[in-house]
A and B are shown apart, each in its own frame.
Chain A
Amino acid sequence: MRINGVTIDDTFAEAFPMKGTRLVVTADTPHWVQAAAVTMTGFATSVIACGCEAAVERLLEPEETPDGRPGAAVLLFAISRDELAKQVARRVGQCVMTSHSSACYAGQHEGKPIPLGDGLRYFGDGWQIAKRIGGRRYWRIPVMDSEFLCEATTAVTEGVGGGNFFILGADREASRTAAEAAVVAIRAVPGAILPFPGGVVRSGSKIGGKYKGMIASTNTAYCPTLRGAVPSLLPDGVDSVLELVIDGMTPEAVRAAMRAGIGAVVSMGSAAGVVAVTAGNYGGKLGRHQFHLHEVMA
């Protein structure tokens, strides 16, 4: 398939089931919303070493939040419900509760609950107060600038992790410009996040490596500097590859994000130095979800 001079490979992205949740973080001002949300989603690029994958889904207007203040919706994904609960407790406890004027609410209520404020309440040292409002339970934890208000639980949903596509560009500028356009397009899709820095991965990986104990190592087939030394998958004229990894609350969200991202890339066309779009998979043997690029772009 070729669109606007860009080749779309006949392949698929292989993705995995993950447990996901949405949190809503609010604060007195947008600055402090950013401070809390960015901190809690830091070092959350890959479950391989970070415990979870997380990012800001979108910023929220005061009219959209439970307490009428500016906010952010944050998505977190982990490989199991227990691991997600652990990551939620650590990240909200260390990054949101500590942030000036913050509050934290469940961003969804359908699904099995995991502790949110229920785990953090003990920080109140006996002075915490439970409050049921509008059928939902909250904890008020006294802190030095007033109270940290936190919903008791959040709900876990069956999400999808590892949706992806690769942008094969003529040079670094071409792949970067195309990736930046894709990131802007994907961030407008509800229910999907790009957990890597700036939404983009340059160090795509393959499973295992030559060294004992390495779970993953550099994706040699797509490293332009190794062309000729390893079996390369790079077409002629490609000198830079960037990957976009997408996590979503549903397969549909991942599919929509891939479509939006690839659409933004191909709209720039071959004239902008974009040569091809492909995707990463493991032959379909590992992941439950397959997103075929031709079907996504049909």
Chain B
Amino acid sequence: MTGLVLTAREAGGPPIDLTGVLPERLADGGVAALPVIRGRERVRLDELFELRDGGPSGTLILRPNGAVLDNVGAGMAAGEIVVEGHCGDNAGAGMRGGALLIEGDCGAFAAAEMAGGRLRVAGAAGDFLGAPLAGSPRGMRGGSVFVGRAGDRAGERMRRGLIAVQGDVGGWCGARMIAGSIVVGGEAGAGLGSAMRRGSILLARDPAEPTPGFADGGEHELLFLELMRRDLMAAGAWPMEFPPAGIRARRLIGDRTVGGLGELLVLSYT
């Protein structure tokens, strides 16, 4: 048994909502007739995509061909989706398991309220990466996210899990964070960790605009960083060169303006 390759028939046009088009549905049969929404109309999947067998079993390969695909992998629990191009909004939102690999960029709310699984975005993710969906009190609550760059409010209200950004993130990264880990390899914008309660934000560089409300706890050797380094290096996501010696971190504790016990860890090597 092989996977399935979906190639968009037309470039452009209204966004296509792929909610429910998931690897776990491949075994059911009848994939071609799955309903999808384009703009304001509900149509069959095979009206918008050319379907053919291909790829490993349990894998869904999407070729957007310039079409805007929203909700790719939203709520997926198993299997793998590979997007050979860019994605629209809500990629991997509410994911509970499996793997979603986006070879290009993706829009806002990627991994929003994600609970498990792994999302990897080779390019840039939009705003609200791993954040709550509108009206929800909590963002990401599990799983791992690896992206090249991210927009504003990455990890906002994050409860659990890992977000590793290889390059820059926008403003308010980790704002109102509840727990979990965020790793930033590049520059972080203003409002970093603002109003965070707990959780860790690891930074390869000093924050350009330090957030008020963080107490400087000095520089330390923290053993858990070695475990994180090993784990992230295995995933190709450790934001620094391979260390010649042990890892140290300057620990900023906050946000004390809200009684927070979170930490910004500015990494360095001994």
A68 within 8 A of B: yes
Does A146 contact B220, Cβ atoms closer than 8 Å?
A: yes
Query: At the interface with chain A, which of B79-87, B148-156, B206-214, B223-231?
Result: B223-231
**In the complex, what residue of chain A is closest to B263 when comparing beta carbons?**
A129
**Chain A nearest CB: distance from B221 CB in Å?**
6
Chain B residues with CB under 8 Å of A133's CB are 224, 227-228, 231
Does A146 contact B221, Cβ atoms closer than 8 Å?
A: yes
**Chain B nearest CB: distance from A196 CB in Å?**
33
In the complex, which of the residues A68, A126, A127, A140 contacts B224, with contact meaning CB atoms closer than 8 Å? A140
Number of interface residues of B (CB under 8 A): 20
**Chain B nearest CB: distance from A274 CB in Å?**
48
A67-B225 Cα distance, complex, nearest whole Å: 9
Chain B residues with CB under 8 Å of A103's CB are 223
Chain A residues with CB under 8 Å of B268's CB are none
For chain B, what secondary structure do more than half of its interface residues adopt (helix, strand, loop), or is it mixed? mixed
A222 within 8 A of B: no
In the complex, which of the residues A126, A130, A149 contacts B223, with contact meaning CB atoms closer than 8 Å? A149
A125-B181 Cα distance, complex, nearest whole Å: 22
Instruction: Count contacts between A and B, CB distance < 8 Å.
Output: 46
A131 within 8 A of B: yes
Interface-central residue, B160, B221, B263, by most chain A CB under 10 Å: B221
A132-B180 Cα distance, complex, nearest whole Å: 8
Chain A residues with CB under 8 Å of B226's CB are 67-68
Chain B residues with CB under 8 Å of A130's CB are 179
In B25-62, the 8 Å CB interface with A consists of none
Does B160 contact A147, Cβ atoms closer than 8 Å?
A: no
Chain A residues with CB under 8 Å of B234's CB are 134
Does B227 contact A134, Cβ atoms closer than 8 Å?
A: yes
A134-B224 Cα distance, complex, nearest whole Å: 12
Chain B residues with CB under 8 Å of A126's CB are 261
**In the complex, what residue of chain A is closest to B223 when comparing beta carbons?**
A149
**Chain A nearest CB: distance from B152 CB in Å?**
25
**In the complex, what residue of chain A is closest to B262 when comparing beta carbons?**
A129
**In the complex, what residue of chain B is closest to A151 when comparing beta carbons?**
B227
A138 within 8 A of B: yes
A37-B165 Cα distance, complex, nearest whole Å: 39
A134-B228 Cα distance, complex, nearest whole Å: 8
Chain B residues with CB under 8 Å of A140's CB are 222, 224
A66 within 8 A of B: yes
Does A146 contact B223, Cβ atoms closer than 8 Å?
A: yes
A283-B56 Cα distance, complex, nearest whole Å: 59
In B156-181, the 8 Å CB interface with A consists of 160-162, 179, 181
A103-B220 Cα distance, complex, nearest whole Å: 16
B200 within 8 A of A: yes
Does B224 contact A138, Cβ atoms closer than 8 Å?
A: yes
A181-B25 Cα distance, complex, nearest whole Å: 62
Does A146 contact B179, Cβ atoms closer than 8 Å?
A: no
**In the complex, what residue of chain B is closest to A131 when comparing beta carbons?**
B224
Interface-central residue, A126, A132, A138, A146, by most chain B CB under 10 Å: A132
Does A147 contact B227, Cβ atoms closer than 8 Å?
A: no
**Chain B nearest CB: distance from A76 CB in Å?**
23
Does A131 contact B181, Cβ atoms closer than 8 Å?
A: yes
In A172-191, the 8 Å CB interface with B consists of none
Does B200 contact A131, Cβ atoms closer than 8 Å?
A: yes
A146-B247 Cα distance, complex, nearest whole Å: 13
In the complex, which of the residues B161, B220, B227 contacts A67, with contact meaning CB atoms closer than 8 Å? B227
A286-B236 Cα distance, complex, nearest whole Å: 55
**Chain A nearest CB: distance from B270 CB in Å?**
13
A293-B224 Cα distance, complex, nearest whole Å: 47
Chain B residues with CB under 8 Å of A127's CB are 261
What are 28 A-B interface contacts by the 8 Å CB criterion?
A66-B227, A66-B230, A67-B223, A67-B227, A68-B230, A103-B223, A126-B261, A129-B198, A129-B200, A130-B179, A131-B181, A131-B200, A131-B228, A132-B181, A133-B224, A133-B227, A133-B228, A134-B230, A134-B231, A134-B234, A138-B224, A146-B223, A147-B220, A147-B222, A147-B223, A147-B224, A149-B224, A149-B227
List chain B positions with a Cβ less than 8 A from chain A: 160-162, 179, 181, 198, 200, 220-224, 226-228, 230-231, 234, 261, 263
The 8 nearest A-B residue pairs measured at CB? A134-B231, A149-B223, A133-B227, A67-B226, A133-B231, A149-B224, A131-B224, A140-B224
